[in-house]
Every structure is written in C-alpha cells, then in structure tokens.
Structure 1
C-alpha cells in the first residue's frame, strides 16, 4: 500500500511520486490549503492538500488527529522561509493528489505531540496509543537494534541460540514462582522459569559448549519500583571456561554494543572485590561516577562518650562510617532533615553530621550537636576523611548492614541532587562475593544461587561455609547491575555439599534437583555463564527513567496490566477442570495500585 515511510523522505526524492500510509499527527487549515503532518514509525512528513483536488481536499478536510490515511502525491521542496532544518524531513513536503481515509479515530485520551503531558496510569491503560509517540518508538527501535547486535556478536563467537522450556518445575531461586496448574496431572503444578539456569547447565552436560538465548523470565516478587513480574534476559553459558573467559567475552559484547549503537567508547572495567565495594561504597553495585566514599571510623569512636557511636563501634556486627561531601556545608538544616528522613527508609535511626566552617579555628570552626562528645578524636577524624572548609560530614552508626544500606543510598542521592557526577559512564566488575549470607533466618542463603561454584574445596566449604567465597561476578554500570554470573558447580559431591550447607538434605535435594544431580554424574564439563537484564540495559542506553519505558507492554508496580485488566477472573468451569477451588475471592484493586 505504501512506497515509502514518512521519515524516509528527503531532497533526493524531489519530483518523485510517493505513497504514504500513517496517522494524522496534526492538521492545519491555512486559508483554504490544508496541511497534514503524517506520522508513521519512521517519522513525520508534511503533506499539502490544495482545493483544486476536490476529492482529496474533502477527505483531508474531514480528517482529524489519529485518522489513518493513505496519501499519494509528489515530493517537492518547501517554499523558501518555510523549511525546518530541525526536522529530518523539514526541507520537503508532499503535494497530495489523492487522500484516502483508511479508518477514522475517536479523540485520543491524551496528546501525542511533545507538548502532551499525562500520567503513567493513563499511558499504560492506552498503551497502544502511547506507543505511537516518537519517543516510545525510538526506545523500542533501540531495543531492537540492541538485541540484533547481541545476536550477531554471540553468533560470531560460536554461541548457539537454543530455547529452553517455559513450563518447568518449581525450584528455589530466591523469589516466588508463578505456578501453572496442570489439567492432565490433577493436583500438580508447573512453574514459569525464574531463569533458564538449570536447563542451560544441562545443555553444557549435553556438549553444546556455547549457548545463548534472549529469554523471558518470571518472578512473583513483592512490589518494587523498577521490577517487572516478567522480564527479559540475555542469557549465555559456555563450557571449558573460567571467570576471565566469561568476563572477557561479555565485556567485549557490551563494549561493542555501546560502540556500534551509541558511538560510545566505554572506559576501563576495573575489578573490585565485594568486600571493598561494601566498605567504600556501602553497595555491591557502586556508582563510580560519584566521588564520595564511606570511611571507617570505628576505632576512633570506641571510647567516645556518645553511646550512639561507641555502641556500634564496639559491637561485632556494628559499624561507624563517615561520608564527607565536599562543599556540602552549604546544605540547609531543612535539607539535612530531609536526608535524615531518607536514610530512615533503610532502618537508620538518625543521621549525625558535622559542618566544617573554618577548620583552623578548631572546635569553634565546627558546627554540629555531636562535636562536644568527640573532642579527643576530632582532629584525627577530620584528617582521616580529608575535611576542608565548606565540607559536611555525615555519619552512620548501627549494624553494618544498616549503615551500608543507609549511607550507600545517601551517597547515590547526594550524587544526583548535588550533580556530583564526574563522567558519563562508569563500568566495573564486582568479584569475590561471599558464597552464603545470613539473613537472620534459621538457614544460610546462597548470595547468588545454589549452583554457583565456591572457590574452595568440599572439606573447607563444609567446615567453615560462612567465610567461603564464590566464583561469581557482576557487571555494574552507573550503579546498576547489568548482569551477574558465575562459574557453576560441575561436580556432584560439591553440589550436594552446597545444598547441605543451605539446609537441604539428600531426600529434598533428590526431589527438587534430582535431574541435575543425576546429570552431573555423566561427565559434566567445567562451565560458567552470565545473564544480562535486557530491560535494564536498554533503559541505561536510552536514558529512560524506568524499565517500563523500554518494554512494549509492561505491568504496573503491583504486577497488573491496566490495558487488559489482567490478572482477571476465570470461570468456575475452568477452575473445575483444573481441580481448583478458591477459598477467597480476589480483592478488587484500584487502577493505580
């Protein structure tokens, strides 16, 4: 039906006949001549309809925004003075000889031009209209380019695109599974995969050597601002590799993506141990664009007459850390109070601070309600953090986890609000993660997942699992974890030992992971891999605010689809076929939840 997309028109097509199909972006009537801005996925082109083409003029006259039209006409240069150099098609226009209305449109619920502002709820309810906006088209076009380049890169590296099952069995991977009842196996359930983890390991046992997949994954997680119940991974696995091999391949892939898609040459990817990242930045995904660091001051605070500091300083699981902000002395008391409220989200009971107004004056040059409690250590403290006139020092004193989370988050917030970024892109690898973590429950938990190989032998793991490190690695960019992976366990004895440490006995292990444990007996090669969050990657590369902006049909924070009103009720007949009886009818949620 068309010969060209609207955005393809330019001066090289002057005097050629073209056929366009698309939507009316804007209609203007100028003294008997009608101008139509026609829009499709490639751009916008101006169409001129003169009254001497009676039928075409009549159709253009009744057209309104979002009508679907087919237009035939001749490309010509715009008259002098009407050209628009800021628009890709701004030097030309199409003089229409035929205008056909393919479909009418009701008045859209919001404007699609750059001046339209509307809440996200409305945009998600009418997502098919929201996706017509050039801004959204550009994001999804970028996503398509990224996945195309990823496939090309991995194919060139010898990886095979292999699909793994969507209906599988429930396995513990850190979040709740989405369960699917089986009609043919009454009382039994499939689970939607949280990742292709076990299947890709089985592909390595099968000898495929290098696998990749752009895979849909599902996690029934609690509400989070930037998580989706279904998301997309760039998933890969390889045999006969070590950490350097996987990290080298994936780093090259990301460098290639940024170079070819954004024309950006990423800087060096430093490697940082997990313990160092937590100590210096309070986070295992530090944003290295921000030149702020946490400094331990426990030793200075052990004997001060201030229990808020001395208590955690002397506790085995406590920490006292300082965060110096150069030039932060200009912060108002209200701003400091707002930051105090902010860190309370992370469990902090308060936010102590010292303003360094004039260091040469000693205590008189400092402004803070806590200085009087630390006269004996104040000079050493100021030296340690490198304090200068005009600075402010914030303190966290609590359990190590609380201090890290609170000051780590405060560091990021200060970096953004005070515009402290020193560069545009800051990648790194975080390595040497602990194998397990103690979350306060009766059992240790795997920090990544229970199929990650430890960096020690079986005996050492069993004797002191708390100090065991894993062969895991995360790629971080601008404070966002792009992807995480590890070398996997390929030995059955080691896999059983890890499951035992996690409190999973042999019977439970055989029930849940028997197929994997069995496979490990039949010549499993050393292997490892990594999975990137495609949605996060596109969000970063496009400059979007949330991952919902780069997913065609996302869910809300409560895992609902406002457009289709999902999840929804099903009939009693369907439930009966599945041998399911509801104990409680679902609560009706408001659209905004």
Structure 2
C-alpha cells in the first residue's frame, strides 16, 4: 500500500547530502536504484535527479516495521526516508559524489510501488530505441538523459540572462499563423470558425520578428517552438526549439559580435569550455571548394583539391567528359591509407553513389612509388605523376576522385571526407571548432520549379557590390547571410534583411512572384514597410543541436524530453491518431481513404 506524504518534508536531494551533514538528521526521497540484503543489514541505493545516496536499514534504528518495509523494496519503488548522516562504515565509493557517507534510516514510507521496468534504469543503456521511446517516462529517469535535460535548461537560462543584459526583450509570437508555402512544408491547422480555411504552425517567427523591428522594439529574443513537416534525420525533428533574435539599426558585424560573445558565455558557464574570439570566418565559395560543404568540420584536414586543369586532355574519358559538361574533377587524399583492402574501397564507391556519384576513381600510391589504380591504364606516367603531385600524394596515400557537375562533386567528396574521418577516428569530441560561413549565394536554381529560389528566404539582403548582376547573372549574387557552424553541424543561421522597397520588389520579380502574389502572401509585412522600417538583421539557433554538441549526443532525441521517431510519430502516446467523426464534422473535414497503390 502506498503511504501519504502527510507531515513529511524533503530536506535534501540525494547528492545535496555531504560529509558536512555528518551527525544531522535528513529526509530524502526518490527511487530505489538497487537493494542489497545482507541479513541483519539492508543497503538501498536511492536515486533522484541529483544522483545516488546510500541508505542503511537495521532493525535497531528503523524498528521492526521499518525493517520489514525495507525488505519489501524493489527497483523503482518511490520512498521517503528519514535518518542520520554518518561516515561510511565500509570502503569509500570514489565513483559516487556521496561515496564517503551513508544515511542510517530511522523512518521509511513507501510512497509508491513499482512493477519491474522493461529495461534497467542505468546510464548508457543498450536498450533498443523503439523500447526506450515507447517507455520514454522510464528512459527519462536515466542519469545521462537527466543530465542532458538539466544542461539544456541551464543553457536556456544562460541565453535569457545574456540577452536581457544586452538589451533584448523576450516577446512571444503567435503559434497559429498564415501559411507561406516558400520553404519547407507547413503543418496545417483547420479553422472551425472559418470553414475551409487553415492556420499554419510557424516554421520560424521570421515575419513577426521583422514586424517587431518595424514596431520599434530594437532587440527581440525568443526561445520559440517551430514546426516543419519534412523528413527526419539525426539532427531534425518535426517540432524543434529555436533561440531566435532580431536586431534593428545593425549590419553583419553587429550580429556576429553579439553572437560570438553569447557563445563564449554559454560554453564557459555551462560546460567550462573557453571559446577563443573572434571566431574564424569563411566565405561560402571557399567552404565548398575546400570541404565540399557549407557546414564544414574543420577538426581534421583531408581537404578537397581541384585537379580539373591537371587532368584536362588526359586519356580518361570519365574525367574529360565531366569537364566537357561544365563540371569539375576533384579529389581527397586519405593519408596513409594506400593499403586499404579492395572490399573497403568498393564500400566507399557504393557510399559515394548514395550521394549522386556515378562512381569513384581511386589511386593508391604504394610504398615503392608504384600505383594501384582504377584508371591508371587510361593515363600516361607523366599525367599520373602530375596528378599525384597536385594532390600532394606520398607513398602510402590513397587518392579518391569524383568527376561530375560541381554540386554533385562537392556533395560526394564532402560526405566521403566525413565518412573517412569517422572510420579513421579523426574526430575529437572534446574539440569545439566554430566557424562563420558567410557570403552565401542569394539564389539557387530549382530544376523542379524551373526558377530561382531564395537560398535563405525572400527578405535576405544582397551584397551591395553584387546587386548590379541581379538581371544579367542572378546566380552569382551573394547574400548578406551567415551561418554559425560547429564541428560540421549548422547550429544556426541568419541574414541582414531587405528594408528598401525597390530591392524587395526586384527580389520578388527574380523569384517569379507577381505583385499580386507577393501581396497575397506577405501583404501585411510589405504594408508595414510603408510606414518607416529600420535596417535590421537576425539569427536563429537550433537549441536542440547546440545542446546535442555540448553533451556529445549522437542525436537530438537525447536532448529532447519527448521526441518523435523517423515517421514523425510518438511511440509513447501513439500520436498522430484518428480523431472522432464529430470533431471532423465541426471542422467541415472529411477523411478520404487512400489505397495502398
């Protein structure tokens, strides 16, 4: 039978009890982690969110009834225990914060009994993700997950503290918004009051925060829930949290400065890591050319090398064909990997195909200076020597090449570089390499839509020196956009916004918007701009991704209390679910069955 809390008050969490409390009477409460019955003595490891404390029960101190209760205890029973703090009678447990003390119980109440859980509540559980997420309320009791969520809470507090001191106002923006189809797919919410009309859940507070700048609030900040109906990956969820900001009367340097100081403050206060300022910067084009990625991991080398000029006119048609089609030939040098077995190289070829490559050419420089290669027979000795030299190849190196359109070559080698780094254990989790990637292209061509799309969004300011190319060569216009990257992950991104009417109108024209369509989608913002709009810029972090890196988690699921799985469902609550027919009728909706075909 569960007992009540009447008259009880918890005096300490488990690890708040220390050798400073020896001789004092304390009351602690939590879950039974482990029970050891030694006949006349029962030892209980009590667990709460702070950690573990050892309790000792003997009939002399706790009485016969209390001792019998202790005998009944099993894993995950919830108990309240009053007792006297003493120095440990047995050996000190160095691995526990409370390893030098124990509490001799004088009273016990069983607040709740528990069935045997489907998996053990312990750190670094090897239990399958499906089981952990089905019983997430149990999984959340695990000390490592609790530490993650406590750190997340601390990071949110530190952000609010820093932003308030920098003059930012925390302002909430609506959850029920107007759908703007540019960008990712919206989650739609039907309106009962306006039949046939829908709200959208916000993909970000973008338009509202720009309106707040028009309204004179100067510096806005929000830890905002956002929603995107897109396919999931390790660092994506259908609902996620942004640390969102916007600043008025600023340019790029102002935004980067405040964010560098924010990151320095958070990392020092939350996990004791010193971030050196200023953070390095790299233009987008350089990042793509050197790393094949706009979010490069700079903790290791293996940079891309463009060998297009070196292989021009060689006898290998895969290389020359790519060049004739306006593409490039680039390679990476896996130092010391010439002895990689053919089976492993074949696996890398298959991996490259997954990123759009038709294949992967390789050349191993043997220790004796000879070559083992998939294409050597098509090239002369001099051509091969020139290629190896361009790649800074030495005996023992493995050179891997991709030849195709630039976008495919970057994708393939950028991914391959990371894959090799994982296999060769080149990634130090305790190294934090921050990087600003700047000067993104303003526009990118979409074959699907047969038009230019905004790489960030339609309100991103072009770089002034490129604006004269907007008609003749729109693809070469750079944006005043910037991403903050950490160890190969984009933590956040932002841009300076357009605040001049003529530039905004031209931007819509280039994106294929008629004036009517632009007004239909963004009329409220364009109208607001007629009444005096300050120059403004902003940035948003993925809070989940930031904390994921701080705790070295493999997935953002480990830093979110109740995450979804790959198909955007919740294994614990079984959401999404079927709703009552009456609810659908009230909304004027009818569900149509779609056949498997």
Instruction: Say whether residues 1:209 and 2:215 are aligned partners.
Output: no
The aligned residue for residue 379 of structure 2 is: 374
More deviation in 261-270 or 553-562?
A: 261-270
Cα pair 1:535 1:550 within 8 Å, conserved:
yes
The aligned residue for residue 64 of structure 2 is: 54
TM-score scaled by length of structure 1: 0.96
Instruction: Say whether residues 1:73 and 2:80 are aligned partners.
Output: no
The aligned residue for residue 488 of structure 1 is: 497
The aligned residue for residue 4 of structure 2 is: none
C-alpha distance in structure 2 between counterparts of 1:139 and 1:348, whole Å? 38
The aligned residue for residue 590 of structure 1 is: none
The aligned residue for residue 591 of structure 1 is: none
Structure 1 residue matching 2:267: 3-state secondary structure: helix
Structure 2 residue matching 1:498: 3-state secondary structure: helix
C-alpha distance in structure 2 between counterparts of 1:70 and 1:388, whole Å? 68
Alignment of 1:351-430 (within 5 A): 351-358=360-367, 361=369, 365-375=370-380, 376-421=382-427, 424-430=431-437
Instruction: Say whether residues 1:222 and 2:263 are aligned partners.
Output: no
C-alpha distance in structure 2 between counterparts of 1:453 and 1:115, whole Å? 46
- Gaps of at least 5 residues in structure 1 are 588-593
1:198-236: CA deviations, max 9, x gaps? 000000000000000000000000243431000000000
Cα pair 1:281 1:408 within 8 Å, conserved:
yes
Instruction: Say whether residues 1:303 and 2:308 are aligned partners.
Output: no
More deviation in 419-428 or 157-166?
A: 419-428
C-alpha distance in structure 2 between counterparts of 1:586 and 1:417, whole Å? 43
The aligned residue for residue 24 of structure 2 is: 16
The aligned residue for residue 6 of structure 2 is: none
Alignment of 1:66-465 (within 5 A): 66-79=76-89, 81-114=90-123, 116-267=125-276, 269-316=279-326, 318-358=327-367, 361=369, 365-375=370-380, 376-421=382-427, 424-441=431-448, 442-456=450-464, 460-465=469-474
Report how far residue 59 of structure 1 moved. Answer: 1.1
C-alpha distance in structure 2 between counterparts of 1:477 and 1:124, whole Å? 28
Cα pair 1:371 1:378 within 8 Å, conserved:
yes
Cα pair 1:59 1:101 within 8 Å, conserved:
yes
Instruction: Say whether residues 1:44 and 2:49 are aligned partners.
Output: no
C-alpha distance in structure 2 between counterparts of 1:336 and 1:4, whole Å? 58
1:279-300: CA deviations, max 9, x gaps? 1110000000121111111112
From 541, 549, 563, the counterpart of 2:558: 549
1:27-78: CA deviations, max 9, x gaps? 1101221111111111110000102311111111111110110111111010
- Gaps of at least 5 residues in structure 2 are 1-8
Change (3 A) 1:251 1:173: farther
Cα pair 1:173 1:194 within 8 Å, conserved:
no
1:452-496: CA deviations, max 9, x gaps? 111137664244322111000001110000110000011222222
C-alpha distance in structure 1 between counterparts of 2:439 and 2:174, whole Å? 31
From 31, 36, 54, the counterpart of 1:28: 36
Report how far residue 372 of structure 1 moved. Answer: 2.0
Report how far residue 403 of structure 1 moved. Answer: 0.9
The aligned residue for residue 506 of structure 2 is: 497
1:521-551: CA deviations, max 9, x gaps? 1110000010000000000001111000000
Cα pair 2:356 2:412 within 8 Å, conserved:
yes
Cα pair 1:299 1:313 within 8 Å, conserved:
no
Report how far residue 106 of structure 1 moved. Answer: 1.0
Report how far residue 373 of structure 1 moved. Answer: 1.6
C-alpha distance in structure 2 between counterparts of 1:437 and 1:27, whole Å? 62
More deviation in 300-309 or 122-131?
A: 300-309
Aligned Cα RMSD in Å? 1.5
Change (3 A) 1:462 1:519: farther
